[in-house]
């Protein structure tokens, strides 16, 4: 282990990450895929992000002394946004500190926002009176008398008689909404699982949840295999639209991956596929169309009209997903051709419309979706940011997996945090933002995005940094971050495009609402690429307008996945998602002249 890296283990999840020494606890947690909620923007003022250091805790700072009792401090409780980690540590994160957790769902039900733990699937153990000559009601009526009226598919109708008799008329009914989907021997009410998936253009993340307790049992992340057909949304639309074989190939690719991931989740949690009774999916409009098998060709043509609008609740088998044979699936509602279910899920999980307004959410993925909430109104738009933030189109780019540089700090020299503490293999999104921000600060990259050649570098630049700037064979310039990992001039250009598109979108939505950027009370940065976005760096490169006060910005993690999880755990959340999707005004940027102007201006990094 390099001396500037430390190992941090999180309980009860058992996840271990290596991060740079002196990282904040919240940053290390994000690296482990655990998004800690910071309603106050990490200012140490709300006390929501409390965690307990099981290994020796450092000296508490003023904020911690104010927010936590002496007893709590002595037990190792600290604020994740304040405490810095100087050595290997083991940290316990209470569920209540996690963003979008089950606990939040239960708590939030008091305020009526997002519903309590009430999945569409419920189990009920019943003991029915066995039939006799005086009690000769038909089997299904006998069940209805115990459970209330239900729908039932014929395969189960065919099976229910023997099952009732084999179990002496006792067993566990499995109900999905109004349908009886199974009747299991014995009392299995404690065994009930669901899966929630975020289908990103580049990355697919799936999580297995215990529907009885709401807790997460396993999580798995993979590359979207459709990437081999094109790395952005438009190339997939073009490919799928060319022939029905292509469409089928794209659908098969994602379905196959989802089914493999379900198998992985089951293996990880030690459960059977048949114990998963429901699965929810959030993704952008194109990803959802491809998952369902809808030809997305019309998404590639003005006026970019999707087929689906409301969420699609159908049997999982009809979708082609292998869970319980009569399990259910739910695909999130969409807002428009390029503002999809992932954005709806994000609004749901962040409770954006309930925050003090105006509030903004930016979801940084292959597309950059932005949502503005103000005085009860909602606007949403999508910017074709491209997959740079997920490592694509960057010469040494990679997803946030083992070997990816996920954090870069210039401290005279260059310090890199590498995922899994492996030899550096490339650069993921958060590392890219850090690197360019630092290069801008060091004056190696100029505001117009030019990487200065060795002879034009600023005079005061430390020698160690200067030595890393090199001319390449084709006469452009690169900056060596680590052995074999260099950032090229054209990588900076890609970042300019991606972040410029998002910032221009932000500007247009604010203009539509008649707001100035400084009026924003909340800016939520969501992103499914598995790492932490450092606000100061995001502002340095202009991804987030630099005028926004630091503490108003919050990193909220993969909100698409959080929303999919909420919809799985709470039917009330699902209804809320449907309502949000229909309430939100869709702003089409691609045909907006103003946007083109703003985009051109936003290509320049802030001075």
The CA distance from 291 to 284, in Å, is 11
Nearer residue to a copy of itself within complex by CB, 310 or 470 = 310
Near a copy of itself by CB under 8 A: residue from 14, 112, 162, 514:
162
How far is C-alpha 491 from the chain's CA centre?
24
336 counts as binding a copy of itself under rule CB under 8 A: yes
Q: How would you class 244 by CB atoms within 10 Å of its CB: exposed for 0-12, middle for 13-18, buried for 19 or more?
A: exposed
The residue range among 41-49, 289-297, 432-440, 595-603 that interacts with a copy of itself, by the rule CB under 8 A, is 289-297
Does residue 310 touch a copy of itself according to CB under 8 A?
A: yes
Kindly state whether residue 73 participates in binding a copy of itself, applying the rule CB under 8 A: no
144 binding a copy of itself? (CB under 8 A): yes
Q: Which of 77, 197, 304, 529 binds a copy of itself (CB under 8 A)?
A: 304
Q: How far apart are alpha carbons 382 and 419 in whole angstroms?
A: 30
Between the two ends of the chain, the Cα-to-Cα distance in Å is 37
Shortest distance, position 383 Cβ to a copy of itself, whole Å = 17
Among 109, 153, 187, 571, binds a copy of itself (CB under 8 A): 153
89-92 and 50-53 as β-strands: parallel, antiparallel, unpaired?
antiparallel
Closest CA to 337 of 299, 368, 372: 299
Residue 283 makes contact with a copy of itself by CB under 8 A: no
Residue 319 engages a copy of itself in binding (rule: CB under 8 A):
yes
Confirm if 327 and 279 have CB atoms less than 8 A apart: yes
Helix, strand, coil % in the chain, rounded to nearest 5: 35, 25, 35
Give me the least distance between CB of 143 and a copy of itself, in Å please.
9
Secondary structure of 233-258 as H, E, C letters:
HHHHHHHHHHCHHHHHHHHHHHHHHH
Q: Does 340 bind a copy of itself (CB under 8 A)?
A: no
* Residue labelled with tokens 């300019």: 496
Query: Which residues are paired to 414 by β-bridges?
Result: 410
Least distance to a copy of itself from the beta carbon of 587, Å?
Answer: 10
Taking CB under 8 A as the rule, does residue 305 contact a copy of itself? Answer: yes
Closer CB to a copy of itself, 329 or 401, in the complex? 329
Binding residue (CB under 8 A) for a copy of itself from 107, 308, 425, 513: 308
Interatomic CA distance for residues 69 and 64, integer angstroms:
9
Three-state secondary structure readout of 214-228: CCEEEEEEEECHHHH
Residues between 561 and 590 that touch a copy of itself (CB under 8 A):
586, 588
Q: Rule CB under 8 A: choose which of 337, 341, 500, 542 binds a copy of itself.
A: 337
Q: 55, 87, 148, 165: which one contacts a copy of itself (CB under 8 A)?
A: 165
Q: Kindly state whether residue 177 participates in binding a copy of itself, applying the rule CB under 8 A.
A: no
> Which distant-in-sequence residues (6+ apart) come within 8 Å of 482 by Cβ?
405, 414, 416, 418, 424
Applying CB under 8 A, which of residues 26, 180, 220, 292 lies at the interface with a copy of itself?
292
Q: Should residue 148 be labelled a site residue for a copy of itself when binding is judged by CB under 8 A? A: no
Q: Which is nearer to a copy of itself, 445 or 587 (by Cβ)?
A: 587
Is 161 near a copy of itself (CB under 8 A)? yes
Q: In angstroms, rounded to a whole number, what is the distance separating the alpha carbons of residues 315 and 25?
A: 42
Q: Site residues for a copy of itself, window 14-53 (CB under 8 A)?
A: none
CB of 314 vs a copy of itself, minimal distance in Å: 6
Is 213 a binder of a copy of itself (CB under 8 A)?
no
CB of residue 318 vs a copy of itself: minimum separation in angstroms?
5
From the CB of 295, what's the least distance to a copy of itself, in Å? 7
Which whole-number Å values give the CA distances from 500 to 226, 364, 509, 544, 546, in the listed order? 26, 12, 14, 10, 13
Question: Judged by CB, which is closer to a copy of itself: 313, or 515?
Answer: 313
Q: Is 314 in the site for a copy of itself (CB under 8 A)?
A: yes
Nearer to a copy of itself, 149 or 484 (CB): 149
Helix (H, G, I), strand (E, B) or coil at 504: helix
The interface mask with a copy of itself, positions 75-114, x = CB under 8 A, is ----------------------------------------
Using the rule CB under 8 A, is 411 a contact of a copy of itself? no
Could you write out the three-class secondary structure of 162-193?
A: HHHHHCCCEEEEEEECCEEEEEECCCCCCCCE
73, 92, 117, 140: residue in contact with a copy of itself (rule CB under 8 A): 140
Which of 362, 357, 344, 348 is CA-nearest to residue 524? 362
Contacts of 516 (CB under 8 A, 6+ apart): 510
Q: Which stretch binds a copy of itself (CB under 8 A): 152-160, 254-262, 424-432, 471-479?
A: 152-160
Q: Which of 188, 246, 298, 395 binds a copy of itself (CB under 8 A)?
A: 298
72-86: b (≥16 Cβ within 10 Å) or e:
bbeebbbbbbbbebe
Binding to a copy of itself by residue 132, rule CB under 8 A?
A: yes
Dihedrals phi, psi of 17, to nearest 5 degrees: -135, 160
- If one asks whether residue 312 binds a copy of itself (CB under 8 A), the answer comes out as yes
Q: Give the footprint of a copy of itself on this chain (CB under 8 A).
A: 131-133, 135-141, 144, 149, 153-154, 157-158, 160-162, 165, 292-295, 297-298, 302-310, 312, 314, 318-319, 334, 336-337, 586, 588, 591
């Amino acid at each position: 282990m390099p001396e500037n890296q430390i190992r941090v283990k999180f309980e009860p999840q058992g996840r271990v990450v290596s991060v740079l020494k002196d990282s904040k606890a919240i940053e290390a947690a994000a690296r482990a895929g655990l998004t800690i909620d910071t309603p106050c923007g990490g200012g140490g003022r709300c006390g929501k992000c409390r965690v307990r250091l099981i290994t020796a805790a450092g000296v508490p700072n003023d904020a911690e002394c104010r927010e936590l009792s002496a007893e709590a401090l002595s037990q190792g409780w600290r604020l994740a946004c304040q405490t810095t980690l100087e050595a290997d540590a083991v940290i316990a994160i209470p569920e209540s500190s996690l963003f979008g957790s089950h606990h939040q769902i239960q708590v939030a039900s008091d305020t009526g926002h997002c519903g309590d733990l009430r999945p569409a699937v419920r189990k009920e153990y019943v003991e029915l009176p066995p039939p006799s000559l005086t009690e000769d009601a038909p089997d299904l009526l006998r069940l209805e008398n115990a459970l209330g009226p239900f729908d039932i598919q014929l395969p189960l109708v065919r099976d229910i008689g023997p099952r009732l008799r084999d179990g002496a008329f006792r067993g566990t009914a499995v109900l999905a909404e109004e349908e009886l989907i199974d009747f299991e021997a014995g009392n299995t009410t404690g065994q009930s699982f669901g899966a929630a998936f975020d289908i990103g253009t580049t990355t697919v993340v799936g999580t297995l949840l215990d529907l009885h307790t709401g807790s997460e049992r396993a999580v798995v992340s993979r590359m979207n295999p459709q990437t081999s057909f094109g790395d952005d949304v438009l190339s997939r639309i073009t490919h799928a639209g060319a022939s029905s074989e292509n469409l089928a190939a794209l659908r098969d690719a994602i379905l196959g991956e989802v089914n493999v991931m379900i198998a992985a989740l089951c293996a990880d949690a030690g459960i059977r596929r048949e114990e998963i009774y429901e699965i929810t999916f959030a993704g952008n409009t194109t990803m959802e169309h491809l998952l369902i098998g809808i030809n997305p060709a019309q998404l590639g043509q003005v006026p970019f009209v999707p087929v689906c609008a409301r969420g699609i609740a159908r049997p999982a088998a009809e979708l082609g997903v292998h869970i319980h044979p009569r399990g259910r699936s739910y695909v999130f509602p969409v807002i428009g051709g390029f503002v999809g279910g992932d954005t709806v899920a994000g609004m749901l999980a962040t409770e954006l419309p309930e925050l003090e307004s105006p509030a903004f959410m930016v979801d940084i993925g292959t597309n950059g979706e932005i949502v503005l909430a103000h005085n009860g109104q909602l606007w949403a738009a999508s910017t074709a940011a491209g997959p740079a933030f997920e490592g694509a189109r960057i010469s040494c780019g990679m997803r946030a997996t083992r070997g990816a540089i996920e954090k870069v700090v210039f401290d005279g020299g260059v310090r890199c945090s590498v995922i899994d503490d492996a030899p550096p293999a490339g650069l993921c999104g958060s590392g890219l933002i850090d690197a360019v921000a630092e290069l801008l600060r060091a004056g190696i990259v100029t505001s117009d995005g030019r990487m200065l050649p060795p002879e034009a570098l600023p005079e005061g630049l430390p020698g160690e940094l200067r030595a890393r700037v090199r001319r390449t064979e084709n006469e452009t310039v690169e900056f060596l971050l680590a052995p074999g990992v260099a950032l090229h001039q054209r990588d900076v250009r890609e970042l300019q495009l991606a972040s410029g598109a998002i910032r221009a979108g932000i500007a247009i939505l604010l203009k539509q609402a008649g707001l100035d950027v400084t009026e924003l009370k909340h800016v939520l940065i969501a992103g499914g690429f598995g790492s932490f976005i450092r606000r100061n760096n995001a502002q340095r490169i202009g991804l987030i307008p630099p005028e926004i006060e630091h503490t108003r910005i919050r990193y909220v993690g993969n909100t698409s996945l959080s929303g999919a999880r909420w919809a799985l755990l709470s039917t009330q959340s699902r209804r809320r998602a449907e309502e949000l999707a229909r309430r939100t005004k869709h702003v089409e940027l691609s045909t907006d002249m103003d946007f083109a102007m703003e985009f051109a201006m936003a290509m320049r990094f802030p001075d």
